Amino acid sequence: MSDATIGSRLADAVGVVAERQTYRNLLYLFLAFPLGMIYYLILSLGFTFGVVLSVFVVGLGVLLGTVIGVRFLASLERSLANRLLGTAIADPDDVDRTDEGIVATAKAYLTASSTWRGLGFVVLKFPVGLLSFVLLVTFVGVGVELLFNSVLPGGVFSIEINGWEVGQNIESTTERALAVPAGAVLTLLGLHISNAFADATAAIASSLLGPSDTDSAE
């Protein structure tokens, strides 16, 4: 392997720090966990109360409102993906709005494939957000703690893993000296993993939140 090739690969590995998209991806992944929890609560409450009260008309209304409300959550996710992940997801156009009236409108939303694909993405948001949180803490968070331990021995984020406080448990001069390169490598690795995970999430968002191939053909 030539020196030029090695230098190019090192530049690619380190260059992730200077890319704006890296920090947009980090922001998206950082927001994924709290948003996933909020979506989980909305869906849990909506469907639970809807099913329990389904013997009454109000229960059916709650279920319908929850399903239609998912479209607004999907719209929010579409905007986030376009702004932060660099996607260009168009609004789905499979809802037939030619008919008027509440019943016709409800039927149009319920029969639209975008409603159920959006529901699929909203349901996936919680596990995706949880995995995002784990990745950020394990790699980027711990990496930054180690990298800046000599300057901030108390820790930058005060990360604690299974009772072990990363910043507080590095005490000797040798440990602090080793923490810097270890933190740099772990942080770079974490940024690359975060970018890869964000790219995978962007692909899922593009397939579930935009127009389907069938809609485009029609």
pLDDT band at 118 (very low <50, low <70, confident <90, very high): very high
Q: What percentage of the chain has pLDDT greater than the value 70?
A: 79
Of the candidates 123, 31, 82, 98, which has an alpha carbon nearest to the alpha carbon of residue 210? Answer: 82
Give the H or E element holding residue 197: helix 173-209
pTM for the model:
0.85
pLDDT band at 157 (very low <50, low <70, confident <90, very high): low
3-state secondary structure 97-130: CCCCCHHHHHHHHHHCHHHHHHHHHHHHHHHHHH
For residues 137-164, average pLDDT: 74
Contact 32, 76 (CB under 8 A): no
* Contacts for 3 with CB less than 8 Å, ≥ 6 apart: none
Q: What percentage of the chain has pLDDT greater than the value 90?
A: 43
Q: What pLDDT score does 16 carry?
A: 87
pLDDT band at 189 (very low <50, low <70, confident <90, very high): very high
Judged against a pLDDT cut of 90, whether residue 124 lies above it is answered with: yes
| Strand-pair partners of 164 | 161
Judged against a pLDDT cut of 50, whether residue 217 lies above it is answered with: no
Q: What is the pLDDT of residues 66-105, one digit of tens each?
A: 988 999 999 999 999 999 999 999 998 887 766 667 777 7
Of the candidates 114, 119, 104, 33, which has an alpha carbon nearest to the alpha carbon of residue 69? Answer: 119
Instruction: Specify the higher pLDDT residue, 65 or 201.
Output: 201
